[in-house]
């Protein structure tokens, strides 16, 4: 289809990108403490040039949508593409001029209804073979890259009060906070290591909020005619714009191709494979999905239980050794072309092993912070019991706690683990419920829980 003069030119450098560049200059000079509200707000484009959508991509999405729906009003098509109708109308006129669509009538609101012509249907079927995507119009990769830079975790100047805020409700020593703080402030990456059960994953999940509560991400990104979905409801939690506030009521019309979400925390465990680090193509729909590291941009990516992944450790490290240093990654499109994507998140490798036993010196250098999550002290262990008693509605009994320590920990030199307070108290509650007695830290309940819990443990 020949492109009309008022559609997007080949250059993808949009007004939005220019606005974000200006924003970045302001952010770098100010470097505020934890971002309050959204410094990046996507505004509705005034023209298709600003929207950054190529005529070829628009044509494909509209014709796939018409193939699926039959006939549609023009404004309904605009709603599907998340673009103002005034931007969609020129494309519809061009499709009519090319005899790919025709009028099916008018609506009560005075809008036109469109349907595919036989030639249009044939072309739409060809487009579906390429890819069946007919969702929101994608944004240019340049705009997505700029938005990631504007919302990067590295822009948050984190201090001790910020960490205390996000770890509220957890028992974390001041000494540990002082070690962890500089690593989080850097917003880059770290190893959290230590014995199992001391809350490494819980700590990692909490860290995301220290960089600010929400970010904007596009529903999809376009590279050439390839559309890559970024927004994933199974990973991203959409936030109501009015509840979020952040001055959105005072801004011009928003670009609905973007979604306001909570900063993402993506956790990949032992099931992680190399395929999940590349653009995924659904074999049936041919729709492209962004990999885990892209979905975690501006948030936190936790590689949990590092060293137990299905892929060899060396393979994972070789895949990421350059992105960790350069903060960008090269991904393969279905066409075979490699494309540069931002790689900008807090990466946490959580492991029960010493980092030096898993990786070589070259990789350790690129993850400059290695922080051990220690066993809790007896005082901290008591605090954990008090906290969990409150959550489980079991009265905390200091005598019962002392009995547990003296009877089931001291004689064997058994170390305290953070998870044990929750686990033992849950067994105490089950014991009491079974015997239909009020949950309490009695010696009988403690002995029963300890016998069951520690029967095959050191």
pLDDT grade for 10, boundaries at 50, 70 and 90: very low
- Residue 68: φ, ψ to 5°: -75, -35
pLDDT grade for 81, boundaries at 50, 70 and 90: very high
CATH of the domain spanning 141-372: 3.40.50.300
* Distance, CA of 185 to CA of 180 (rounded, Å): 9
Calculate what percentage of the chain has a pLDDT beyond 90.
51
* Distance, CA of 190 to CA of 179 (rounded, Å): 11
Task: In the chain, list all ranges with CATH 1.10.10.10.
Answer: 15-138
Work out the end-to-end distance of the chain between its first and last CA atoms, rounded to an integer number of angstroms.
Answer: 72
Q: What is the pLDDT of residue 22?
A: 42
Q: What is the mean pLDDT of the chain?
A: 85
Q: What is the pLDDT of residues 225-283, one digit of tens each?
A: 789 999 999 999 999 877 666 555 556 689 999 999 999 999 987 778 888 899 988 88
Residue 38 has pLDDT above 60, yes or no: no
Residue 23 has pLDDT above 70, yes or no: no
- Residue 164: φ, ψ to 5°: -60, -35
Q: What is the pLDDT of residues 280-299, one digit of tens each?
A: 888 888 889 999 999 999 99
Q: What is the pLDDT of residue 170?
A: 87
Q: What is the pLDDT of residue 93?
A: 93
Calculate what percentage of the chain has a pLDDT beyond 70.
88
* Distance, CA of 147 to CA of 231 (rounded, Å): 14
Contact criterion met (CB below 8 Å) for 42 and 216: yes
Task: In the chain, list all ranges with CATH 3.40.50.300.
Answer: 141-372
Question: Out of 176-180, 266-270, 330-334, 429-433, which region has the weakest mean confidence (pLDDT)?
Answer: 266-270
Element (H, E) at 396: none
Q: What is the pLDDT of residues 297-337, one digit of tens each?
A: 999 999 888 877 677 777 777 788 888 888 999 998 888 88
CATH of the domain spanning 15-138: 1.10.10.10
């Amino acid at each position: 289809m020949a492109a009309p003069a008022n559609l997007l030119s080949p250059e993808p450098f949009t007004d939005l990108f220019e606005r974000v560049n200006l924003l970045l200059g302001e952010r770098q000079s100010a470097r505020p403490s934890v971002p309050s509200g959204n410094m990046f707000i996507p505004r509705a484009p005034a023209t298709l040039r600003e929207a950054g959508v190529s005529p070829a991509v628009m044509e494909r999405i509209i014709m796939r949508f018409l193939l699926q729906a039959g006939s549609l009003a023009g404004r309904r098509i605009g709603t599907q593409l998340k673009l103002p109708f005034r931007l969609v109308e020129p494309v519809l006129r061009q499709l009519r001029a090319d005899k790919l669509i025709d009028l099916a009538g008018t609506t009560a609101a005075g809008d036109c209804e469109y349907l595919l012509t036989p030639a249009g249907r044939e072309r739409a079927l060809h487009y579906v073979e390429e890819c069946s995507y007919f969702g929101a119009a994608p944004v240019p990769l340049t705009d997505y890259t700029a938005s990631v830079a504007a919302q990067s975790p590295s822009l948050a100047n984190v201090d001790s009060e910020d960490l205390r805020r996000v770890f509220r409700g957890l028992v974390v020593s001041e000494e540990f906070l002082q070690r962890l703080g500089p690593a989080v402030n850097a917003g880059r990456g770290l190893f959290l290591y230590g014995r199992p059960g001391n809350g490494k994953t819980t700590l990692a999940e909490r860290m995301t909020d220290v960089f600010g509560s929400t970010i904007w991400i596009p529903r999809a990104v376009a590279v050439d005619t390839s559309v890559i979905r970024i927004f994933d409801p199974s990973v991203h939690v959409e936030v109501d714009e009015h509840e979020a506030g952040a001055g959105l009521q005072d801004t011009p019309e928003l670009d609905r191709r973007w979604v306001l979400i909570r900063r993402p925390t993506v956790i990949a465990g032992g099931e992680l494979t190399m395929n999940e680090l590349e653009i995924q193509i659904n074999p049936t729909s041919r729709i492209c999905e962004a990999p885990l590291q892209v979905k975690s941009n501006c948030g936190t990516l936790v590689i949990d239980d590092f060293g137990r992944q299905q892929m060899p450790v060396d393979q994972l490290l070789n895949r990421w050794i350059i992105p960790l240093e350069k903060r960008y990654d090269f991904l393969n499109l279905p066409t075979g072309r490699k494309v540069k994507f931002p790689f900008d998140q807090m990466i946490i490798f959580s492991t029960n092993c010493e980092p030096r036993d898993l990786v070589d010196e070259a990789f350790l250098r690129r993850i400059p912070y290695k922080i051990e999550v220690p066993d809790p002290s007896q005082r901290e262990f008591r605090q954990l019991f008090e906290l969990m008693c409150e959550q489980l509605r079991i009265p905390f009994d200091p005598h019962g706690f002392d009995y547990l320590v003296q009877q089931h920990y001291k004689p064997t030199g058994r170390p305290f683990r953070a998870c044990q307070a929750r686990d033992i108290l849950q067994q105490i509650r089950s014991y009491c419920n079974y015997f239909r007695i009020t949950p309490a830290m009695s010696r009988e309940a403690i002995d029963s829980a300890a016998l069951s819990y520690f029967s095959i443990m050191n």
